[in-house]
Amino acid sequence: MELKEYFKIIGKHLWVFVTIILLTTVFAFGFTKAKPTTYTSSTTFTVNKASALKQSQANYYLYDNYYNVQSSGLYAQVVASWFSSPAVVTDIYQKAGIAVPNVSQNTLGKTFKATYDQPSVINVSISGSDQTELQKLMNAAYDVLQAKTDELGQNDVSFYELAKFEPVVTKDNPSLILNTVIGLIAGIILGALIALAVEYFKED
């Protein structure tokens, strides 16, 4: 079948084609417009291992604390992995004084998004509909992780310390125009397919 024949069939069932386009476009517009406002809070943690011995105290070269830096990087990976632990996330909610969501452990473990970057940096973000809660959760996360770090290193005065940048909260704005255009394109494709299907079954 040639391309012009497809256009003829679509023209023959133009009302179906146009109706589908209108429905999908209006749906995309309405869905985007009615979508609840969400926010994203993000911050950066850095892991530092204090040196038990300063260069001035040693008669040999400490390589600018090279091994401390490497050790901090390895521990940063451990800290980043804690964010995917339902137990740790539960502790964070409790520390923030916020009720733990009634969701599966798998979902709870995805509450925070943490990515580890060299050498000892962890970028953390969390999304939700309440700016205040997000701020509390991010601050509580630092408190919980530092407390756990202190607990692990209670017999080591040169264990690790976490440093946190001030969390940044931004409003997530879905693109109304983009989503509407996507709905329009989807409507054109779907409308054409349905028009062709109507013609096909009509012939049968």
Pairing outcome for strands 121-128 and 160-164 = unpaired
125-137 residue pLDDT tens: 999 989 999 999 9
Cα–Cα distance for residue pair 103/110, rounded to 1 Å: 11
Cβ-based neighbours of 19, under 8 Å, separated by 6 or more? 191
What is the pLDDT averaged over residues 40-46?
A: 93
**CA 96 – CA 40 distance, rounded (Å):** 17
Q: What pLDDT score was predicted for residue 8?
A: 81
Is 124 in the same domain as 193?
no
| Amino acid making up residue 51 | S
Task: Tell me, yes or no, whether 66 and 131 share the same domain.
Answer: yes
One domain, residues 67 and 120: yes
- Within this chain, do residues 47 and 119 fall inside the same structural domain, yes or no? yes
Q: What is the pLDDT of residue 110?
A: 93
State whether 16 and 108 are in the same domain. no
Number of structural domains found in the chain: 2
C-alpha R_g of the chain = 28
Question: Is there a single domain that holds both residue 121 and residue 147?
Answer: yes
Check residue 204 and give its pLDDT.
59
Q: Are residues 191 and 116 in the same domain?
A: no
What local confidence, expressed as pLDDT, does residue 142 receive?
A: 94
66 and 111 housed in the same domain:
yes
7 confidence band (pLDDT: 50, 70, 90): confident
The pLDDT value recorded for residue 100 is: 94
Q: What is the CATH number of the domain that holds 50?
A: 3.30.70.1130
pLDDT confidence of residue 75 = 87
63 pLDDT tier (thresholds 50, 70, 90): very low
Shared-domain flag, residues 122 and 183: no
Confidence of residue 33 (pLDDT cuts 50, 70, 90): confident
- Check: CB of residue 157 under 8 Å from CB of residue 118: no
Is the pLDDT at 101 greater than 60? The verdict is yes
Q: In this predicted model, what pLDDT tens digit does every residue of 14-24 receive, in sequence order?
A: 888 899 999 99
Say yes or no: 79 and 156 in one domain: yes
Judge contact between 108 and 86, C-beta under 8 A: yes
Residues 66 and 23 in one domain: no
Three-point CA angle 62, 66, 72, nearest 5°: 130
pTM (predicted TM-score): 0.68
pLDDT-derived band of residue 71, with 50, 70 and 90 as boundaries? confident
Q: How do residues 153-199 score in pLDDT, each as one tens digit?
A: 766 555 788 888 999 989 887 788 888 999 999 999 998 899 888 87
Average predicted confidence (pLDDT) for the chain: 84
Q: In terms of domains, do 126 and 77 share one?
A: yes
Domain that holds residue 22: 3-35+175-203
SS3 62: coil
